[in-house]
A = this chain, B = another copy of it.
């Protein structure tokens, strides 16, 4: 705990630094998270814009480059690969930028190198002196020296050209104007930039990480299903019966199928239906109570089938365009094999018993948490990681992690880094409904997506405030929201005893506000709306019992879900969270626009937050909240066509004010695709 004697490291005699001739200071590099301690997140194909301040004393021209290190493929030899260099362009006083495309998944790294560019400075000075009709004889010799020095640094291919330029510059028999023409030639400038003297270059001390995921990390539509509820006639379902539902789920347009834990369920202290403290015979128990004599986290609940059945189910889901997501809940029942085999991983109480989970005064005697402070933490961490490895080996690449916020954050940081180094296509959704900073800490630790407070954000004002917080940097650089209208744990107040309009509204909001969203079905599309008394939870919850769902009910939300998922697929803007909100003169109307950075696609959503009555009002598209006029989607100069992709109706805006009327009985929202109106009304372009 003794502080260092100096913050700056080096200490030669006189405390001189090792490289005192570096004149450029590099500051304010972005994107960066906590000075590089954590990676910023991007998705394959994204263009990354890097900014940096390059500050040198005096008035010399500064040169700089962005150095980019691509990810190594897993197992690729650790031989150093030369980073790729991109020229940093000046964009303002002392501010520079460069862009590159991340075209592979995995950990990218970048840094900045900058130097005083003596040739560019010489060239600028020469031109100014020529303008002022000054003698430049000596200057041309200085230029010749600089070019000759660059020739010595150049590859053989470029050396001759540089040498000949140096000779021409230094040729006293030629006229100064002829030699100046040589000095200022474009090809020479290009060569001189390439072979700029980097000997006294400053290199930013850190390689800054960017984690690049596959596209599903940013864009996904999840469907949560209890396979055990797919049995016929109230019998326990299996992977086989669940597979029969795959066409139904695929028809709705989801792309991730998430299963609650599929492992053997414990018996000791098993909960009964509706969370009764004692199970009665025939009660199936909670899938999150993991572990019995039949095995633990690397086993399949016998009533669902075998590991082979699971593999077959995963393959069939895949053929329907559904990627499987497994639930990993790092906790055990008293019957889990770990309890006997590894008592050192659990906290023992003074009475000799193992400490069960509790959040006083609540007790969860059917659950033993792992003790992340135990002395055997190393073997515990390695075993927990191996659970993921087991399912990764069986082809699973998406995991929904149960309550990650009750497990050590340093564990997650290590575990995710180790796993993704081998499987950069792995994605993890954090089921963390907890304090905001803890949710953000998990995202920094490596979780690809996170559950959010969307489930409880009800009014337009609440949604605007929350969505703006999580979709702006720095949060949006590492935290990817996944919006869920319901989960097996939560039937929010606004859906309790609610009708079709409320479910439709929450669906539209989740699917358009966030590029990642999910529903727990069939409870959602069948609008299950009855809570257990006193709690924000379903009565007869599938967590504790089997349910039978009539998925063919004519009032199912299936057609609306299918339509919205199709709109999401057709419109890149909805696959991003580049969002601005607009003022409306009716607080019941929520209005926002989204756009895609890579293609011309702008979407405007207007939702009626009132699920009982029609609402109408004016929207001012000229006044995006907290944004710049550059983000305007329409104005008097830019009239647009608004194509409602829900109703297929087309509207026109002549100015920046838009009148909207929505009746919850016919549609929860307009989901407009905007097209710029050209000179004639018959000629439409996509709106930029």
Does chain B have a CB within 8 A of A554? no
B381 touches A20 (CB 8 A): yes
Residue of B nearest to A207 (CB): B3
* Of A41-49, A138-146, A538-546, A598-606, the one with at least 4 CB within 8 A of chain B: A138-146
| Interface core residue of A124, A125, A360, A409 (most chain B CB under 10 Å) | A360
Chain B residue at minimum C-beta to C-beta distance from A121: B360
Tell me if A650 counts as interface (CB < 8 A to partner B). Answer: no
**Could you tell me if B372 and A23 are in contact, using CB atoms closer than 8 angstroms?**
yes
Partner of A20, one of B4, B53, B414: B414
Q: Are A125 and B360 in contact (CB under 8 A)?
A: yes
A113 to B1, CA, bound (A): 10
The reply to whether B414 and A15 form a contact with Cβ atoms under 8 Å apart is yes
Residue of chain B at shortest CB distance from A111: B3
Q: Contacts of A4 on B, CB cut-off 8 Å?
A: 207
The chain B residue sitting closest to A202, CB to CB, is B410
* Complex Cα–Cα for A203 and B1 (A): 9
Interface with B: A5-13, A98-106, A390-398, A516-524, which one?
A5-13
Query: Would A373 and B410 be within 8 Å (CB), given that A20-B378, A141-B350, A360-B125 are in contact?
Result: no
Which stretch, A129-137, A152-160, A662-670, touches the partner chain B?
A: A129-137
- Kindly state whether residue A468 has any CB partner on chain B within 8 Å: no
Does A406 make an interface contact (CB < 8 A)? yes
Q: Which of B57, B141, B435, B438 contacts A409 (CB 8 A)?
A: B57
Interface presence of A304 (CB below 8 A): no
- Taken together as a complex, chains A and B put the C-alpha atoms of A125 and B131 apart, in Å, by 81
A173 within 8 A of B: no
A377 is an interface residue with CB less than 8 A from chain B: yes
Interface residues on A, range: 35 or more
A628 within 8 Å of B (CB atoms): no
Point out the residues of chain B lying under 8 angstroms from A53, CB to CB: 437
- Contacting pair B23 A83 (CB below 8 A): no
Q: Is A200 an interface residue (CB 8 A)?
A: yes
Closest Cβ of chain B to A409, distance in Å, is 5
Give the residues in chain B near A405, CB-CB below 8 Å: 57-58
Cα–Cα distance between A128 and B37 once the two chains are bound (Å): 38
Given contacts A7-B37, A16-B381, A125-B360, contact A116 B23 (CB under 8 A): no
Is the CB of A69 closer than 8 A to any CB of chain B?
yes
Contact B410 A207 (CB under 8 A): no
A241 CA to B566 CA, complexed, in Å: 90
Digitize A329-372: 1 where CB-to-B-CB distance is under 8 Å, 0 elsewhere.
00000000000000000000111010000111100000000001
In the complex, per-residue mask of A381-415: 1 if CB is within 8 Å of any chain B CB, else 0: 11001000000000000000000011111110110
Q: Which residues of B contact A413 (CB under 8 A)?
A: 8
**Residues on the B chain within 8 Å of A7, using CB:** 36-37, 39, 107, 109, 207, 209
Distance of A4 Cα from B109 Cα, bound (Å): 9
A360 to B129, CA, bound (A): 6
Give, as a whole number of angstroms, the nearest-CB distance from A198 to chain B.
Answer: 10
A462 on the interface (CB 8 Å rule)?
no
CB distance A21 to B437 under 8 Å?
A: no
A78 within 8 A of B: yes
Number of copies of this chain in the oligomer? Answer: 2
A2 interfacial contact with B, CB 8 Å = yes
A34: chain B residues at CB < 8 Å are: 27
Which B residues touch A409, using CB under 8 A? 23, 25, 55-57
Is A94 an interface position by the 8 A CB rule? yes
The residues in A between 47 and 64 inclusive whose CB is less than 8 angstroms from any CB of B are 53, 55-59
Question: Across the interface, do A6 and B350 meet the contact criterion of CB distance under 8 Å?
Answer: no
A441 CB-CB contact with B under 8 Å: yes
> Which listed residue, B113, B353, B436, touches A93 by the CB 8 Å rule?
B436
Asked if B27 and A411 sit within 8 Å, CB to CB, the answer is no
Q: A55-B438, A406-B58, A408-B57 are in contact. Are A373 and B23 (CB under 8 A)?
A: yes
Residues of B within 8 A of A138 (CB): 349-351, 353
Residue contact B2 to A80, C-beta cutoff 8 Å: yes
A418 at the B interface (CB under 8 A): yes
A88: chain B residues within 8 A (beta carbon): none
CA of A436 to CA of B94, assembled, Å: 9
A95, A124, A134, A414 — most chain B CB neighbours (10 Å): A414
- Per the bound structure, the CA–CA distance linking A383 and B83 in Å amounts to 39
Contacting A21 at CB < 8 Å: which of B2, B134, B373?
B373
Whether the pair A359, B59 counts as a contact (CB closer than 8 A) is yes
Question: With an 8 A cutoff between CB atoms, is A578 at the interface?
Answer: no
What separation, in Å, do the CA atoms of A144 and B543 have in the docked complex?
A: 38
- Asked if A35 lies at the interface with its beta carbon under 8 angstroms from chain B, I say yes
Residue from the list B3, B14, B359, B361 in contact with A83, Cβ < 8 A: B3
Q: How far is the CA of A132 from the CA of B409 in the complex (A)?
A: 31
Binary flags per residue of A199-210, CB closer than 8 Å to B gives 1, else 0: 010010001010
A22 in the interface (beta carbon within 8 A): yes
Chain B hits for A107, CB < 8 A: 7
Q: Is residue A464 within 8 Å, beta carbon to beta carbon, of the partner chain?
A: no
A435 near B94 with CB under 8 A, answer: yes
Q: Are B3 and A109 in contact (CB under 8 A)?
A: yes
CB pair B23–A410 under 8 Å, yes or no, is yes
Question: For residue A95, which residue of chain B has the nearest CB?
Answer: B437
Interface centre among A1, A124, A128, A385 (most CB of B within 10 A): A1
On whether the beta carbons of A407 and B78 are closer than 8 Å, the reply is: no
Give chain B residues whose Cβ lies under 8 Å from the Cβ of A564.
none
Q: Is A351 touching B141 in the complex (CB atoms < 8 A)?
A: yes
A14 touches B94 (CB 8 A): no
Residues on B with C-beta less than 8 A from A113 are 1
Of the listed residues A3, A8, A34, A405, the one surrounded by the most CB atoms of chain B closer than 10 A to its CB is A3
A437 partner residues in chain B, CB cutoff 8 A:
27, 53, 55, 93-95
19 contacts between A and B (CB under 8 A): A1-B203, A3-B69, A3-B111, A3-B207, A7-B209, A14-B381, A15-B414, A21-B373, A22-B410, A23-B409, A55-B438, A57-B405, A57-B409, A58-B406, A94-B438, A132-B360, A138-B351, A142-B349, A142-B350
Give the 8 A-B residue pairs with the shortest CB-CB distance, closest first: A132-B361, A141-B350, A125-B360, A128-B360, A2-B80, A35-B35, A3-B207, A94-B437
Given contacts A3-B69, A53-B437, 4 further A-B contacts (CB under 8 A): A7-B37, A27-B441, A116-B373, A144-B350
